[in-house]
Chain A
Amino acid sequence: MKIKQFISLLLFISYLWLHMPLSSAQELREYMADSQAALDHLSQTMNTTVRNRNIIKINTSTSLSELTQATDALKLSIEQHPNDLFAKMYYGYGLLFLSSNYQQNKNYMRAAELSKQGFFFIDEAAESKPEDWRLRYLRARMDSFVPAEEGRCIIAINDLKQLNNSQQIPNELNGIIAYLYSNALTLCQQLDEAKKISDQLPELSGHGNLLFKLKHVVPFLTQEEITNILQPILEGGK
């Protein structure tokens, strides 16, 4: 009897141990799917202007030709509307994605040029209106994941510290901000601080528990980001 009870307990513990990670992985997949669905819905409802269409393409395209088209269109948009800082920010994003493409194809000269221009426009957009937290957030999102040798992690840390201290940030972005912060600290070799932030993730709102599972991977565009950042940007461009 005792042996039977022991074996049953062992089996139950094994079941829990196997089942829990699976359910977390499932939750993460569902979160990704919900975020993708929100992005698709936004893409369909907000693509009413050229500017919006191209910002959406920057967020969703992976092909070189589409990215090039979207980037060129945003460049034109900035020339016509120099005060559209979000278009400038996404133009910078587009240049950086193109740079990454050229880097993969070993065209290092062109990759270096585009990379410099990309960061230049991202900085210009964020620094033109330092009080706009969305611009700072978008800069930090890029800087938290570019390779450490670009030296951008220090800018990301600066931006994310300011975001953490800001009252304007919706609570549901706490999770993703902490995730970005942890990664920026890791890139800048502040590993103890990074681990502290990372350990707090599961307790934070905005699916912090699921972001914790990503482990320094570039995150997909989350539901919270779509609702609080991308949607207001596209609504402003209607």
Chain B
Amino acid sequence: MFTTTLFYISNIIMAYALILMFYTCLTRPTDVRYTLLSLIKQRRRSMVTLLAIIMGGIAVFIFGGFVQYSFWQLKEQTIRTNIGHIQIYKEGYLESGSPTSSLKYTISNYDEIKSLLMNDPQIGPNIKAITGQLSFAGIISQYEKGVSTFFSGVGIEPETSLILGSLDRVISGSDLSRIMTHQITIGSGVSNLLSAGYNDWVDMLVVNPNGGQDAMSTQIRGVFQSGIKEYDETSIKMPLETAQRLLQTKDITKIIILLNDTEQTQNVITNIGKLIKQHNLPLEYKPWNELALYYHQVVNLFEGIFFFIKSIVSIIVVFMISNTLMMNVIERTKEIATLRALGLTKHYIRRLFVLEGITIGIIGSILSVSLGIIIAELINIHGVPMPPSPGYTKGYLAFVLWNEGYELFWFSCALPLVTAVIASIIPARKASNLIIAEAFRFV
């Protein structure tokens, strides 16, 4: 709410500044010339002020680009570590809670639903991959070493799991196979606990939907690492048909959809809702952002830090410009008195000083963005190594994402211009309220 209000106020100020400049250029070009000459007259002071504005603008631009990249990276990492963009469940699944009780809420007509989704003209073209997944839990053991641990397993289609889990890194061995369907992949935490790796045999004990127990001996074909500690410590994956055989069911727990573009999520969700209503399907669904708790925590943290930095930079820029203009007013007291004596109104004098502030702001905006882009591209040659995000075990290489969306450009232009206008208000008022007689006597 607060940031939205600030956004609208800033837009109004920017619009005022640009209209004023444009109007002055058209109707009184000599005023613009006068403004520029006044700034050039105090070259050193103007340069120092401009430098402070540019540095503040660049800092905000680069940090904003980092933050945008970090958000994008985290978002895609979340989505492509087996969550997908949208998940569809049997009605009642979300309330049921744990994976074991979720075997009561399974989808039995997956092929039919998949066909409906793929053939829908609003939904189908947006889908990059769609897969059924069967979730289950149990105990996995390596009897030779006398070690057992609990696991949370998923049965997934091997080929689609490559796209859905494209950021699940295999650190030893291979991904799931359509040929060696009896083989499984395990998380790095499970591998460490069992001291088991590629080609080792393990035994699994699970509870099937009927409440009975099933067991299976299987070979490990790969060890994966998603970067999420809790996930890697308990997860195993196997081909969907193997999981269905193990649990003696043809059903699946959920349908996971990966879209071509994350921005289409809301649109597709709406259409899925319509499709479900239209065909009276007993299904419910959730988008990825409601499933990714860590993502929101990290985003909120970064946004708070960024807001704090923006505020600090804005205050510094306001003071710098205000100081420069105030010094200008003091030094040009007699000049202002002369102008007033010649017949210029208070409003006119005020406008001249506001124009000076706007000019500094416009030059600062252009240079901030231009230099910001150059520095961003230089940084993007190699990137910057970053530590892992909260809840993750793997760091990443950060870049400055400056060319996705307009928000960064808007803020980098708004910061110098809005702060310049605000900073010029007091000096302009001071200049316009000078008493002519006293001003002439000023030494």
> B178 at the A/B interface (Cβ < 8 Å)?
yes
Cα–Cα, bound, A154→B222 (Å): 10
**Which range holds the interface residue count of chain B?**
20 to 34
Q: Are B179 and A128 in contact (CB under 8 A)?
A: yes
- Closest CB in chain B relative to A83 CB, distance in Å: 13
Q: What residues on A are CB-neighbors of B399 within 8 Å?
A: 106
- Closest CB in chain A relative to B169 CB, distance in Å: 8
Q: What residues on A are CB-neighbors of B222 within 8 Å?
A: 151
B 147-168 contacts with A by CB, 8 A: 158-159, 162-163, 165-167
Q: Are B173 and A154 in contact (CB under 8 A)?
A: yes
Q: In chain A, what residue has the closest Cβ to B199?
A: A158
Cα–Cα, bound, A106→B396 (Å): 13
Q: Are B162 and A113 in contact (CB under 8 A)?
A: yes
Question: Quick one: given A113-B163, A155-B198, are A127 and B177 in contact (CB under 8 Å)?
Answer: yes
Q: Are B166 and A154 in contact (CB under 8 A)?
A: no
Cα–Cα, bound, A113→B168 (Å): 10
Cα–Cα, bound, A89→B167 (Å): 23
> A131 at the A/B interface (Cβ < 8 Å)?
no
**Which range holds the interface residue count of chain A?**
20 to 34
> A112 at the A/B interface (Cβ < 8 Å)?
yes
Q: What residues on B are CB-neighbors of A155 within 8 Å?
A: 173-174, 198
Q: In chain A, what residue has the closest Cβ to B221?
A: A123
Cα–Cα, bound, A127→B222 (Å): 15
- Closest CB in chain B relative to A143 CB, distance in Å: 10
Q: What residues on B are CB-neighbors of A149 within 8 Å?
A: 169, 171
- Closest CB in chain A relative to B438 CB, distance in Å: 64
Cα–Cα, bound, A109→B179 (Å): 26
The 0/1 profile, CB within 8 Å of B marked 1, for residues 191-211 of chain A is 000000000000000000000
> B175 at the A/B interface (Cβ < 8 Å)?
yes
> B80 at the A/B interface (Cβ < 8 Å)?
yes
A 13-51 contacts with B by CB, 8 A: none
Question: Quick one: given A117-B162, A151-B170, A151-B223, are A124 and B76 in contact (CB under 8 Å)?
Answer: no
- Closest CB in chain A relative to B356 CB, distance in Å: 43
- Closest CB in chain B relative to A130 CB, distance in Å: 9
> B342 at the A/B interface (Cβ < 8 Å)?
no
Q: What residues on B are CB-neighbors of A123 within 8 Å?
A: 174-175, 177, 179
Cα–Cα, bound, A155→B223 (Å): 12
- Closest CB in chain A relative to B402 CB, distance in Å: 14
A 83-125 contacts with B by CB, 8 A: 106, 108-109, 112-113, 116-117, 119-120, 123-124
The 4 lowest CB-CB distance pairs between A and B, nearest first, are: A151-B172, A116-B162, A113-B166, A151-B171
